[in-house]
Structure 1
């Protein structure tokens, strides 16, 4: 190989380093293209004009929302209706890079990608969602997710879980290992139980649902239990910590679960393990325990002021980990980044969240709150929740409200 060819080969092999902002536009790198990251990128592009150089790093070209994925399991939505791409965000002026962020050097202000490329930043926004805690459910790890799906990152896992439910033998058993607090979408596992029960009443009405739950109580518990008694009487059994729900192991090869020494044969097992911030937060050294602490006024990391963390990955005080929360936090983060890099005006941080759940056809319930930033945390200022005993017309209206919200928020996130 000649010297010229050798130099060319070396150039091709060397990781590309994007130019730093020496005299150019300030650079913002956003990691994670879900409800938080996509919203930050889009709002920065929309509100900062061309004053910022914005890069969004997201490995998937099509993003499936985890919120509303339970409705796919219940037969109320198609998988395609949960799919969103990044074309509108790219058209707005964001450099969308489909790759994995694998490292952060906070001293050098760089993000390393799986491809070997390096992105330099003036401000970094991390919104990587969740990962699972190794060993949280003895006998299960991600290598077993095809035998016992988690389906807590939407897409192929959700499709797999639905296919397994459809293939259950008549009178078979669906089991769920519910997660400990805190975790993504507090009502999510129990809406999922409702949707699985709805599906089974249509195609396998003698099937049973078994829930092993380490928590004494859960979000909207009274509403779900009322709904289960009304719509799915005798189908669902929940085993809480008083009866061993916090002492559970699984055997994916044998398709058994062990609840406090009692072994149950199951046909489908949905394991939802304990969760932590997406691993890039840990690699960046931004976690305190399993989550990344932030200043609610700006969503800045309490460890590094040049990094903002939002969505499920951050320790967010009174706010639940939800798509609505991530979208709300992203707008505060975008405002803070814009103010820091372009001297634009900063307003007091305000947040809101609503979590809707579908229990049965036209039987929708909700819980939500408004929040503001204090020195200690993001604090709830007022809240609301559906009530037991509501009439059918109100429950139908709540469900229809949720459908409109999904259309609106996904438009707000993805453009």
Structure 2
């Protein structure tokens, strides 16, 4: 499920999965629509919550498609409630596995239509360009993925592509070009069955004005957990229009807060360095963290840049490994957790278990553990019991785990009441 753009959809592919609201907001903002944009020929989905009983049955859809039925017939048979929340979008007569259908082996390599490729500026008078490509559909219908290799020499060294989806028309952006330079490029087309055409070397010359690029005062930040850090961002040249810049997470820890996720630039403020403040929230782990931020424009015209943020853990290292750290049991019941040392000690370690607060009806045994050099990594079991009581309330207890010279841990016990009478 999720965005259909995360998948490679071959021509003729059909998308259907158990995903609530996969067609909500169609055609924009829906997983089904994004699958069609990325090349799927048909989609089955829902515009709102259908509940499990109301969703299309993917197994039924596949069964009838494999038996040679049309998409309309298979989709209809797989939809349990007509007029409820389901939509099936595609050619109803599409029959990928029709009985008696003659198989065709495609050995024809994709070619460019006459007059293509075309190199056009992203913005008049500026260096960055688009390469427009049209795939020829003779002597037979054809579509392809498109890749453009480019560089200052015929060795190229850089590339851009059309993204997911096999189509006839493509427009590939070549970002970060130097002003007033001759560039070499070639077009590579790949059709759905793997036939590849590598085009000849071609050249173009960029305009004498550089396209705006992002300038950061740093590309790497080191900060402490729970602390703050800043970086600045601006444009190298006038953009010639209003640009919306986004600061977003690419990978890593999302507990890093960014105070300015959207920044607007135009010809009046492009050179002004905007300060972005990062705030790291403390967590319970004893590990350093790394997050990568991406600075990019909404229209994908500028070359995106990344910023690596390394977050140093400031919490004391853990001395114990405890599992689980939260226990839930019914009143009158019992459960257990295990404890071991996180690292090999230099001598035997007596560990004390104590009640750090909570209800006296909750007890645990044993009240102490001993770890030797030979068993420090072997989990030892602690049993927790809850005695029935007369009230009608849930209970809780905190069990502390400690040893001299080590950082302590705790286990939370929650007891669900099973029906005692409420005290007056």
Q: Which has the larger share of helix?
A: 1
Q: Which has the larger share of strand?
A: 2
Which range, TM-score by smaller chain? under 0.3
Over alpha carbons, which structure has the higher Rg? 2
TM-score by length of 2: 0.21
TM-score by length of 1: 0.22
